[in-house]
Amino acid sequence: MKANQSRQSPAEWEESASLLPQTGRDLPAGRHQFHKERLMAQIQQDIQREEHPASTGPGRSRTRGFRLPRLAITLPAAALAVTGVVVAGSVLNGGAGAKSGDVATGPALTTQVGTASTEGVPQLLDQISLVAAEGSRPTVKPGQYVYIESEAARTFVKTVDDKSSLASHPLHKRQTWKSADGTKGWLIDPTVNDGPEGETLSLPDEQGKPFKAHMGAPSYDYLATLPTDPDQLLKLIYKETKGQGNTPDQQAFTTIGDLLSETYPPAELYSALFRTAAKIPGVVVVNDAQDAIGRHGVAVARLDETSGAREEWIFDKKTHVFLGERSVQVKEVSEYGVAMKPGTVRYTDAITNRTIVDDIKQTPGHNA
C-alpha cells in the first residue's frame, strides 16, 4: 500500500480534535471506546466517498493488522478500510495523542510465509462446512449475550517524536459481550481500554443514535435473517459491501472472516459461510499456519494484492474446527516510510471460548 498523502498524520488528528463533534473530541486517551469507533467509522466513510469512490484502500484486509486491535463488532467492517495499520497503531497505541504505557510494546511479529495452493480448496471448505453443520449451536435468546474470548497480538507502526518504526503489542486476552439484538455490549482489551474493567459498547449512544445491524456490524438477530443459500448469501455480501476494501472479492472474503471470528452465527448460516467462501475467486489453501497461541492447522486464505497481506482462517487439520486467524504480509510494501516485509504478522488471534451467557460481563461458569 502507498500512503495516501491527503490523510492526516497522527499529530494532525490531535490538532483537529477540537474541530470535530463531541464524539471526535473523545478520541484521545481516557474516552470511551465506542466513541473512538464511531469517530473512526465516520472519518473512514468520508474518506471512502471523497477519495476512493471505487476502492477504499487496504481494508481489514482491513487486514487483521489494520484493525484497532480486535475492535468489537459494533464497528462496521468498512470503518477501518482506509486507515491502515499506521492510523490504527499511531492514533490509539503509542503515537501522538494516543494512550501510551498501558501495554508494553515489542518488535514486529514475524513468521514464515507458508506456501499457498489453489488445489483442494473446494474439498477443504466442503469438509469444514459439513463439520460446522454437525456441531451443536444453541440459539441466543433475548436477554442473553454472545461471549467471545480470544488471545490476540498485532504489529503496528509506532510514531514517537516524528520517528516511525514497527512495534507490536504482546499476546493478550480479549473479551467481548454482545446482546442478541446488538444494542448492549462490553469490551475488555488492555490495548484499548483505559482500565482493567473494560468499557461499555452499549447503544444508543449519549446522542440517542440507535443501533441498526448490518453486514459490517451484525447482531445475532440480524445474522438469523441472512440467506443460507451460498449464491444468495454471496450476492448479498457483494451488495452490502460495495465500494469497500481494495476489491469486491477481497472485501467479501474479509466480511466472511469477520462473521466467522467476531460473531456467533446460527448453525445453518455458519455452515453456509464456508460454502459461500468457496465461490470467491482467489481463495487458496495454506497447508501449515499457526494461530496466536501456537496451534498449527490448515488455513483457508486470500491475498490482497494491493496491501500485500494474506488473510488466513486457521482450522484444526483433523477436526476442521476453527482455531483463529491471522494476517501475514506476503509482499513488501512501504507505509509512511516504514518497510512492511514479507513474514510480518499484522494481526493474529486464537479463539479460546465462544459461548452464550446470561448476563453482561459474565464468563462461562461464573456469575456476572
Cell numbers linked to 169: 503489542
pLDDT at 313 over 60: yes
What percentage of the chain exceeds 70 in pLDDT?
Answer: 71
| Interatomic CA distance for residues 173 and 329, integer angstroms | 23
pLDDT in tens, 156-198: 999 999 899 999 998 999 999 999 999 999 999 999 888 889 9
pLDDT at 149 over 70: yes
pLDDT in tens, 352-368: 999 999 999 999 976 54
How far the first Cα of the chain sits from its last, in Å, is 44
pLDDT at 141 over 50: yes
- HSE-CB at 308 with a 13 A cutoff on CA atoms is 18
**C-alpha of 348 from chain center:** 10
Peptide bond into 10 cis (omega under 30): no
| 192-216 CB burial, b ≥16 within 10 A, e <16 | bbeeeebbbbbbeeeeeeebebebb
pLDDT at 26 over 60: no
Q: Are 355 and 138 in contact, with CB atoms under 8 Å apart?
A: no
- DSSP-assigned states of every residue in 3-22: PPTTSPPHHHHHHHGGGS-H
Q: What is the mean pLDDT of the chain?
A: 77
pLDDT at 78 over 80: no
pTM of the predicted protein model:
0.75
Give the pLDDT score at 40.
Answer: 44
Q: Work out the burial of residue 311: count CB atoms within 10 Å of its CB; fewer than 13 is exposed, 13-18 middle, 19 or more buried.
A: buried
Give the pLDDT score at 234.
Answer: 98
pLDDT in tens, 28-46: 333 333 344 434 444 433 4
pLDDT at 27 over 80: no
pLDDT at 47 over 90: no
* 342 φ/ψ angles, rounded to the nearest 5 degrees: -55, 140
| Interatomic CA distance for residues 86 and 13, integer angstroms | 12
Residue from 332, 145, 176, 179 nearest 258 by CA: 176
pLDDT in tens, 314-343: 999 999 999 999 999 999 999 888 999 999
- What is the pLDDT averaged over residues 74-82? 32
> Where in the chain are the domains?
10-357
